[in-house]
Each structure stands twice: as structure tokens, then as C-alpha cells.
């Protein structure tokens, strides 16, 4: 199946990273899971992994900001799937310095270790680097515009990763997923914020701006994109969008979720959830034709019907009491 010796997944304890780690292990890959060190010895979402995953985990607890630890983690790995990052946009207004340290310096640590140790890197970008769409659908050559400290840090991280490919021949690919959603996502993101509020019994749902549009992608499609890029030699040196090509407004997304949950809700604007006016990204919709051409990847949850299926699976997971109890639906998560 896989000729790869060992794969390092950074950010394996997080939302997408845990799904990716599970998928790779179940597919037969040898995986080292880089999780953020903490004194509780927790592995994030991997603590809840089923025995078939947990029994095959090689866990490395460290900090992506520490170059020595990153080098130790990369040792013996042929590929690094680099997902470790700070991603909450509101928190980047609050503490931008931490985003530079984690996202830019952390990525430098990864590609430096990969260069020295001979590993390939698939670096995780974000559609936020494009800012509000100037042309749609958004292709990889769309201008980059940092409309938040978070997006600025990811632009910097992307360029650091690509510079190592151009400067030293380090085999780097940049995967740029559009808005991923699904089970385990933080409630600071809009879909789980809506779902958890409704599941907790609220009918007055607090949201920020309703008019911006997004290209939502179910986590299983994003996971498949990582594997497709990892396996494609043609993807080396490339920036690749992963998206469905279907856009929907936040307001319409909220209506779809309410319908799925059979809830009659009203939406209230929460000023704390509004981005500064010129920081709001008004429109995102992907052109993923390059990813398809180079790897054959296509979304299995694309279009309106795919979004409905993905939302239904997300709602089912969040509605389970054991899962909902992990969230604080009564407060705003920045």
C-alpha cells in the first residue's frame, strides 16, 4: 500500500490532524503523531481514538516552536504533513506575536529539519491568505492579502516553506484547504458554533456577519487531499487549493443547520463576533482544478447535496451528549 517508511503529522492532536492521523493509520501507514506538550499528558482528540488507532500511535509530545524538538520528531520520517498552527482569527487580533512564533517560526523549524534530514513536507495553508475574492473562483495565482494577523502569519509560513523548495530543493507542497468543517472542530468556527448552540437548547443563536460567503469542505475530503498530495510527485513545488467550488453565505448555512436539526431559531448579531470592517473576508470560493489535475482528487461532499450530507454527519456527532459536553456552548470562543 504505502511504500513510505514513516509519516510525521504535526498538529495531530487537533481537529483536522486527528482525522488525518486516524485515516493514515487505518490505511496502513506508519505514523508519528506530533502533539503539543502539556503537563496533563493529553493528546487532544487522539485521547478519544479507538483502540485500532491508539495501539498503533507513535506519539511525540513537543512544541512546534522548538527547533530541537522538531528535529527529533522529523528524524526517521520520510514525509512531514505539517498542520500544527494557531488558527483562530479573533485570537490573532488579541495575541498576534504568538501567531508569528507558532505559524512562521514553527514552519521554519519544520522545513529546516526536513532539509537537513531529507524529508518531504506538505505544508498546510488556508484560503484566508487570499482575503476577499477579487476574481472567482479563486485560483492559486490570486493575489494574497493579509486581512488579519492570522492570515499574515500564514502567508509568511507559506512563503518560508516555498522558499526552501526554491532555495535548497527541499520537496515542499503547499495545500490550501478552504473552510473545513466536521466532527471535533472548535466551536470558535461558525458551523460548530451554530450546531452547539442549537444542540444545547438555545433558539436565539448568536452570530457575527451573515452575508460573507464561504466554500465549506467536509473534513473527510480535506484528509483525502492531504493523502493525494503526499502521494503525488507532480505536487512537489506546487500550491494547491482544496475546495468544493460551491459557495454559501453564513446566513444560509445557519438556516441549513437549523433545518437539519428541526429547530426554529432566530439569529441575533453578537458585536463581539464581528471582525473589524476591513478585516472581514467577504467571499471565498475555490478553483481546485490544479489539485484534481495533479492528483485526481475530487470532493466527495461537493455541491449543495454534499454540504447537506456533511452537515448531517456533523450535527449527529455534536448532538451526542458525550461530545457536546466537551464544548462550552454558552460562551463565545475566540
Residues 6 or more apart whose Cβ sits within 8 Å of residue 293: none
| Residues known to be catalytic | 150
pTM over 0.95: yes
pLDDT of residue 267: 94
How far lies 194's CA from each of 109, 217, 220, 256, 311, in Å?
Answer: 36, 16, 20, 10, 11
- SS3 assignment, position 185: coil
pLDDT of residue 270: 87
pLDDT of residue 3: 64
The grid coordinates listed for 132 are 476577499
Query: For each successive 10 residues of the chain (334 residues), what is the average pLDDT?
Result: 79 98 97 97 97 96 98 98 97 97 98 98 98 98 98 98 98 98 96 96 93 97 98 98 97 97 94 90 98 98 98 97 91 80
pLDDT of residue 333: 75
Angle between helices 67-74 and 106-117 (to 10 degrees): 40
Helix (H) or strand (E) holding 59: strand 58-62
What is the distance of C-alpha 272 from the center of its chain? 23
The yes or no reply on domain 7-182+217-244+284-302 and CATH 3.40.50.10800 is no
The pairing of strands 213-214 and 248-249 is: antiparallel
How far lies 252's CA from each of 102, 138, 146, 267, 304, in Å?
Answer: 34, 21, 26, 11, 11
pLDDT of residue 329: 83
pLDDT of residue 1: 42
Count of other CB atoms within 10 angstroms of residue 299: 25
Amino acid at each position: 500500500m504505502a511504500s513510505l517508511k514513516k509519516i510525521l503529522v504535526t498538529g495531530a492532536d487537533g481537529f483536522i490532524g486527528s482525522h488525518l492521523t486516524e485515516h493514515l493509520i487505518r490505511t496502513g501507514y506508519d505514523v508519528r503523531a506530533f502533539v503539543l506538550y502539556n503537563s496533563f499528558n493529553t493528546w487532544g482528540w487522539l485521547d478519544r481514538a479507538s483502540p485500532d488507532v491508539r495501539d498503533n500511535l507513535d506519539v511525540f509530545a513537543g512544541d512546534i516552536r522548538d527547533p530541537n524538538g522538531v528535529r527529533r520528531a522529523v528524524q526517521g520520517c520520510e514525509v512531514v504533513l505539517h498542520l500544527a498552527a494557531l488558527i483562530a482569527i479573533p485570537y490573532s487580533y488579541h495575541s498576534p506575536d504568538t501567531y508569528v512564533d507558532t505559524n512562521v517560526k514553527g514552519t521554519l523549524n519544520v522545513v529546516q529539519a526536513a532539509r537537513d534530514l531529507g524529508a518531504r513536507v506538505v505544508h498546510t495553508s488556508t484560503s484566508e491568505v487570499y482575503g476577499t475574492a477579487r476574481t472567482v473562483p479563486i485560483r492559486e495565482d490570486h493575489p494574497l492579502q493579509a486581512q488579519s494577523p492570522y492570515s499574515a502569519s500564514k502567508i509568511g509560513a507559506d512563503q518560508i516553506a516555498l522558499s526552501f523548495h526554491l532555495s535548497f530543493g527541499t520537496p515542499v507542497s503547499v495545500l490550501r484547504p478552504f473552510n473545513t468543517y466536521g466532527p471535533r472542530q472548535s466551536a470558535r468556527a461558525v458551523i460548530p458554533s451554530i450546531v452547539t448552540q442549537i444542540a444545547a437548547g438555545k433558539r436565539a443563536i448568536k452570530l457575527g456577519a451573515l452575508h460573507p460567503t464561504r466554500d465549506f469542505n467536509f473534513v473527510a475530503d480535506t484528509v483525502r487531499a492531504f493523502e493525494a498530495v503526499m502521494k503525488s510527485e507532480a505536487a512537489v513545488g506546487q500550491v494547491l487549493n482544496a475546495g468544493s467550488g460551491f459557495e454559501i453565505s453564513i446566513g444560509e448555512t445557519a438556516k441549513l443547520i437549523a433545518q437539519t436539526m428541526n429547530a426554529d431559531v432566530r439569529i441575533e448579531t453578537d458585536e463581539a463576533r464581528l471582525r473589524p470592517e476591513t478585516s472581514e473576508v467577504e467571499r471565498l470560493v475555490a478553483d481546485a482544478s490544479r489539485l484534481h489535475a495533479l492528483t485526481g482528487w475530487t470532493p466527495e461532499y461537493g455541491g449543495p447535496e454534499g454540504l447537506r450530507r456533511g452537515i448531517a454527519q456533523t450535527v449527529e456527532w455534536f448532538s451526542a451528549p458525550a461530545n457536546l459536553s466537551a464544548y462550552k456552548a454558552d460562551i463565545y470562543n475566540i
